[in-house]
Amino acid sequence: MIRTTRVLLLGLAGWLAAAPVDARQYVYPSRGQSSARQARDESECYVWATKQTGFDPAKPAPAPVSPDTKVTGSGARVVGGAVGAVISGASGGSAGTGALIGAAGGGLTRRLRGHRAADAENERLAGEQRARQTAFDQARTACLSGRGYSVK
């Protein structure tokens, strides 16, 4: 009874440890390993791959970067207003109206740049996450292959 319980708990622990990567990899026991042995090997290879790569797929990915949409204090509206007033005044229009349009444009430009920068940073982080996951999968596959499993 104790042995059966121990095997079941070990199998459950292996399944839980390997759960994040099971969707990507299929493991077949090429040497007729028992399901308990396979669960223990998968769990140990998961831990080994985590140590080798410094990446644990069970941990959440870094939070996405939110765009810096703060315009107050950035000077974007002041610069936009000054440019708008100069252009409007030079072309014979109202400098006040030009300043308002320029200030709005400056704030909008600042926000757009913030969104573009955040998008670029999020894409970079996603690329790093994919590379880490790939390295982890390769390490886990190497470990399992060395223990006599076919991994696809």
Tell whether 72 is covered by a domain: no
Report the number of distinct structural domains present in the chain: 1
Q: Report whether 67 contacts 73 (CB < 8 A).
A: no
- Domain boundaries, position 28: 2-61+147-151
Tell whether 95 is covered by a domain: no
Tell whether 53 is covered by a domain: yes
Task: Assign 14 a pLDDT band (cuts: 50, 70, 90).
Answer: very low
- Give the pLDDT score at 119: 87
Q: To the nearest 5 percent, what fractions of the chain are helix, strand and coil?
A: 70, 5, 25
Tell whether 9 is covered by a domain: yes
- Give the pLDDT score at 21: 43
Tell whether 71 is covered by a domain: no
Tell whether 139 is covered by a domain: no
Tell whether 10 is covered by a domain: yes
Range 51-80 average pLDDT: 74
- This prediction has a pTM of 0.59
More confident position, 53 or 6: 53
Tell whether 92 is covered by a domain: no
Note the pLDDT tens digit of each residue in 87-129. Answer: 655 556 665 665 556 656 666 666 777 788 888 888 999 999 9
Query: Taking 90 as the threshold, does the pLDDT of residue 30 lie above it?
Result: yes
Note the pLDDT tens digit of each residue in 124-145. Answer: 999 999 999 999 999 999 999 9
- Give the pLDDT score at 149: 97
CA distance 57 to 23: 12
